[in-house]
Structure 1
Amino acid sequence: MSLGHALRRIVEEYPLARLDPPAGHPLAAMIRRSAPDELRGALEAIDGPFLVKGSPGRGSNWAAVPWLAVFDPTVTTSATRGYYLVYLFPAHREVVHLSLAQGTVAALREHGPRAEAYLRTSGDALRTRLSDFADRLPNRSITLGSAGELPDGYEAAHILGLTYELADLGDERRLRADLAVGVAAYRALKARGGLLGLS
């Protein structure tokens, strides 16, 4: 398998997999284990400690939006807080988003009903800090096709990134080059103060 093949499997198989319980489902296992392994392999060419996790959901529930994430352990080890690089799989289209994103759950806990507005405002400020990446990671917003607190939060938490159609996932060289750019933006954000200074 390759990173592109892993991403494609999730895009193509997730809608049908959700009709069955996630416990013991091969796609749930793949998102938790083999897909992170492929992402770790793609990161081998990039120096640095990375923590990689994938989530098809929790317990007996599939996620509205499954994800595959890269964490810098000095910033965060969880998608709930801080900021991280993540592949997000929308419910309504056969695409995958590569997103430099802010932790959503911590913002929801801290800001309640104002969390989305807070995340969008901080995302604008963070994009300004990363203006030199705007050409290579041009997506200023994403849509995930699911209603709910978490999908809405993920959309609001997006800073910058890329969207891949299914046909793009066959170009492993491009996927790895884009991943390197995403990691560079992640590191640049950390070097430029991360979330500090945001109101």
Structure 2
Amino acid sequence: MERLLREPIENYLTQKRQAFAGNPLADQMRHEFPELINRILSDQTRYKVVGSPGKGNWTDCPWIAIFDTLVTDTAQSGYYPVFLFKADMSGVYLSLNQGVTEVKDYYKSEARNVLKLRAEDYRAKIDLDTNDLLEINLSSINSNARLYEAGNIIARYYPADNLPNETELIADILHFLHLYEELNFNDTHVDENKGLTATEKKQYRLHFRIERNSRLSKKVKEYKGYVCEACEFDFTTKYGDLGRKFIEAHHLTPISNLGIGQYKINIQTDFAVLCSNCHSMIHRLDDPSNLTHLRNIVKGIE
């Protein structure tokens, strides 16, 4: 496990002068090092570990990230724990950071300010530790590196001459995963007037994160089609090309059945596709999993 940090720090700058294609260290960062992290994860179906020495060429600051696929499965968006190596290989950060590509594409020159503001908001939703760093320095003038500096929520720093042992490293990874899950739960609004228990709040938040997950929603829609399963509304019939392939995915599994931290979903049975109105209405039912009840209301039976 200690090789995860030591080998890039000791060898990256040397290997960076070599050809990128087929490089053994680049291959380790894509495959071997992510697998080392994957072995300590309790739910390997929910988390996705990705390492990158660059795409087509060496990057200034290689990274290894852990994605909760209910939040994101790419480094371009969302937020996630990530090992970020400094460009001069003088050290490495374990950072709870943000995807920068989508922010950069949308906000252009304001991207750094947006990332900083979001980082402050995220920090307010988790418990900070005195060892957590709010600012990082990747020793790079690369534009993406500068954005990752702005996107840092919290971080731990490991200097090259004082890297953690295996026990310490695993403990820090698990700690950051705990903070990641805490942020995931707290980043979804729940009506505090409902008097929910802490577990119920977590279940609601997990429920809505599953619905919002774009990757899952796309698969549900491709499988179930684009006609509302409650009122049979078809956006294409009403709006023509504007409504083509538009529908919303609703998670049917009762929140009381959601195991916190579990990620086992059946696209065929756990989801319904609904028009925007029916999706809003089903969430007003006492049991938002009761599609039959909603259909009966639409038909005037209840």
Same fold (TM over 0.5): yes
Q: What is the aligned partner in structure 1 of residue 32 from structure 2?
A: 34
CA RMSD of aligned residues (A): 1.6
The aligned counterpart of 1:88 is 84
1:65-96: CA deviation from partner (whole Å, max 9, x where unpaired):
10001000000000100001100000124211
Shift, 1:122, TM fit: 1.1
Superposed, which structure 2 residues align to 1:15-164 within 5 Å?
15-43=13-41, 46-47=42-43, 49-59=46-56, 61-130=57-126, 132-135=127-130, 138-164=132-158
The verdict on how the C-alpha distance between 1:122 and 1:88 changes in structure 2, with shifts beyond 3 A counting, is same
CA-CA distance at 1:160 after TM superposition: 0.3
Q: Alpha-carbon deviation of 1:194?
A: 6.1
Contact kept in structure 2, 1:95 and 1:163, CA below 8 Å:
yes
> Which residue type is aligned with residue 184 of structure 1?
H
Shift of the 170–99 alpha-carbon distance from structure 1 to 2, 3 Å rule, reads closer
Letter of the 2:5 partner, please give it.
L
TM-score after normalising by structure 1 = 0.89
Residue in structure 2 matched with residue 184 of structure 1 by the alignment:
178
Assess, with a 3 A threshold, how the Cα gap between structure 1 residues 58 and 77 changes in structure 2: closer, same or farther. same
Distance 1:77 1:111 in 2: 21
Opposite residue 143 of structure 2, the aligned amino acid is: E
Q: Higher relative contact order by CA 8 Å / sep ≥ 6: 1 or 2?
A: 1
Q: Residue 134 of structure 1 contacts residue 160 of structure 1 at CA under 8 Å; is this kept in 2?
A: no
25-34 or 186-195: which moved more? 186-195
Aligned residues of 1:88 and 1:98 also touching (Cα < 8 A):
yes
User: Could you tell me whether the CA contact under 8 Å between 2:13 and 2:89 is conserved in 1?
Assistant: no
Instruction: Quote how far apart the aligned CAs of 1:149 are.
Output: 1.4
The percentage of aligned residue pairs carrying the same residue is 32
CA contact (8 A) 1:5 1:170 kept: no
The TM-score, its normalising length taken from structure 2, stands at 0.60
Asked whether the 8 Å contact 1:90–1:96 carries over to 2, the reply is yes
Distance in 1 of aligned mates of 2:43 and 2:171: 14
Return the alpha-carbon distance in structure 2 between the equivalents of residues 35 and 168 of structure 1: 20
Q: Could you say what secondary structure the match of 1:97 adopts?
A: strand
User: Which amino acid in the other structure matches residue 179 of structure 1?
Assistant: I
Aligned residues: 188
Contact between 1:51 and 1:70, CA under 8 Å: does it hold in 2?
yes
Greater fraction strand: 1
Q: Quick one: distance in 2 between partners of 1:170 and 1:142?
A: 18
Aligned-residue offset at 1:158: 0.6
- Structure 1 letter corresponding to 2:115: L
* Structure 2 counterpart of 1:81, one-letter code: S
**Aligned-partner residue type, residue 158 of structure 2:** Y
DSSP-derived class of the 1:79 partner: coil
Rg (Cα) greater in structure: 2
Structure 2: 5+ residue runs without aligned partners? 190-302
